[in-house]
Structure 1
Amino acid sequence: MRVLLPLTLTLLTGAAGAAGYPVTVTHTSGQTTLRAEPRRVVALGPHALDLLLSLGVQPVGYGEASHIATRDYGSPIRQIRYLGSRVTGAPINVGDRFNPNQEVLLSVKPDLIVGENYAAANYPALTRLAPTLLFHGIHSGDWQKSIVTLGRALNREPQARAV
């Protein structure tokens, strides 16, 4: 019986259970379940980028507003307005943050897409590519709520509390 108890506990918790996965989080477009800790995250917009960088996550892709007039989708972004000095990699330009280029987005192999609720019309298409979290971001105090949820999704709750 002593041999079965540790084995039973291991099977119940599992390696993913020990790290808190799978985890289901609620956001502005519904609920999303993440099966494992995201490693390749795409930020759709400066609000999402700010949240990710605050948690120490460097995005593999970035989508900006269409009025910035960048058309080099699929190319690394060398400079991002305002937050660019905090980006240590070269995220791929996935296009407009509200309507990103799905082919380019898929090419960066995201395991999580983070954006603003303005992309809600494209939420079904985005979720076919990767788990997607959309947050409110324009009102004072929105980021405090969003960062807690994002911290939970990324297994970075202590960092979220510190921020």
Structure 2
Amino acid sequence: MRLRRSLTTAVGLAAVGSLALAACSSGADPEPGEETTATQDAGDDDATDEFPVTITHALGETVIEEAPERVATWGWGSTEAALAVGVAPVGVGEQIFTVGEQALLPWVEEEYDALGAEHPVIFTDAEGGAAVPYEEFVEADPDLIVAPYSGLTQEQYDVLSDIAPVVAYPEAPWITPWDDIITLTAEALGRSAAGDQVLADIDTYLADLAAEHPEIEGKTFAAIVDSPSDGLVYVYTPADPRVSILENLGVVSAPSVDELDTSDGGFFYTLSYEELDKLEADFVIAYTYTQEEADTFGEGAALQAVPAIAEGNIVKVVEPVAVSSVSPPTALSYDWADGVPSVVDQLAEIYGG
């Protein structure tokens, strides 16, 4: 499903003077079947920033005294950001709504294997970040917890901080921009230069996509999830990374999305079926969780009230893994074939590219 294996690890580490992703300190490749440990991958040999590092965020100020060796991540996106700069976390949050219990997202598993790193402990997360499994964090024994895109409360942050230093979100839960997730994670790991290279690679990729499809420039969109059982749709605001990354392609969040926004700075709001005629945009992006849902999306009278849907200008991101690749987009999933590239292909069909 991946268009190309991520180059960010190799290029990012080259930028800081290291291409060694091997198991042993001599730099030799691991023998077949041999894996490095996550601790070895996260050692300080590849850190280029000077420690201590101090990061100020919404829940406090975190001082990281030395390059971390046992990193844990919580929430979304920071696992991929760490891997992209060559650090394999020892523990990561479960993505139960995407890949089920105790499983890794495919691009995450791929990158652990590419690094020759031991797969991590997977922290239980049946409630989408609402409950933190503190005992599992204690058992993983991290020396840093990275959670820049999460829903941590002040209480949860304080408890986790008794286990290890914690890097939380800069402003508010669940709205950290996708590029800031990469920057903050790389900074916390002492690998800012590698993080900059990761972002440069992504910028180049998105710019190339945009250049290939000038016909979509300036088109306005609304990103939604339909909830027929509730008689409403969820509308994502420009604060949500799935919206902001698409704007790098030249498309624009529709003015109506802002005009109807009741979220008070949140990443989504709900709109009742009775108000759908007000959601004006050139096209709609629908996030659907089954192929059956995708096949029938927009057929009902209620959604036909959205002008773009009535005109057939619908882009669909289908099934949980594909939706997760853009929700939020990450350092390893931005080029997942069924995510952003599929969106661009569908737009090209709509607008005749």
Scaled by the length of structure 2, the TM-score of the pair is 0.36
- Counterpart-to-counterpart distance in 2, 1:119 and 1:155: 23
Q: Which amino acid aligns with 1:44?
A: W
Q: Give percent identity, aligned residues only.
A: 27
Q: Does the CA-based 8 Å contact 2:70-2:142 persist in structure 1?
A: yes
Return the offset for 1:41.
0.6
- Counterpart-to-counterpart distance in 1, 2:189 and 2:181: 12
Q: Which residue of 1 aligns with 2:212?
A: none
- Counterpart-to-counterpart distance in 2, 1:162 and 1:129: 31
Which residue, out of 115, 129, 132, partners 2:166?
Answer: 132
SS in 2 for 1:93: strand
- Counterpart-to-counterpart distance in 1, 2:163 and 2:173: 23
> Larger Cα Rg: Structure 1 or Structure 2?
2
Q: Which amino acid aligns with 2:153?
A: A
Q: Which residue of 2 aligns with 1:158?
A: 193
Q: Which residue of 2 aligns with 1:147?
A: 182
SS in 1 for 2:135: helix
Q: Does the CA-based 8 Å contact 1:59-1:91 persist in structure 2?
A: yes
Q: Which amino acid aligns with 1:161?
A: D
Higher relative contact order (CA 8 A, sep 6+): 1
5+ long unaligned stretches in structure 2: 1-47, 199-353
Q: Which residue of 2 aligns with 1:100?
A: 132
Q: Map of 1:1-163 to 2, 5 A cutoff?
A: 20-65=50-95, 67=97, 70=101, 79-88=104-113, 89-96=118-125, 98=129, 99-115=131-147, 116-121=149-154, 122-135=156-169, 142-163=177-198
1:45/1:64 CA distance change after superposition, 3 Å: farther
Once the two structures are superposed, residues 84-140 of structure 1 have per-residue CA deviations (whole angstroms, 9 ceiling, x without a partner) of: 21123210122126233211211111011112231234111111111011236855x
Scaled by the length of structure 1, the TM-score of the pair is 0.72
Once the two structures are superposed, residues 24-60 of structure 1 have per-residue CA deviations (whole angstroms, 9 ceiling, x without a partner) of: 1123322100111111111113311121112211010
- Counterpart-to-counterpart distance in 2, 1:148 and 1:83: 18
SS in 2 for 1:118: coil
- Counterpart-to-counterpart distance in 1, 2:96 and 2:103: 17
- Counterpart-to-counterpart distance in 2, 1:65 and 1:79: 7
Q: Which residue of 2 aligns with 1:10?
A: none
Tell me which protein shows more strand as a share of its residues. Answer: 1
Return the offset for 1:23.
1.6
Q: Does the CA-based 8 Å contact 1:23-1:35 persist in structure 2?
A: yes
RMSD of Structure 2 on Structure 1 (CA): 2.6
- Counterpart-to-counterpart distance in 2, 1:149 and 1:46: 13
Aligned residues: 139
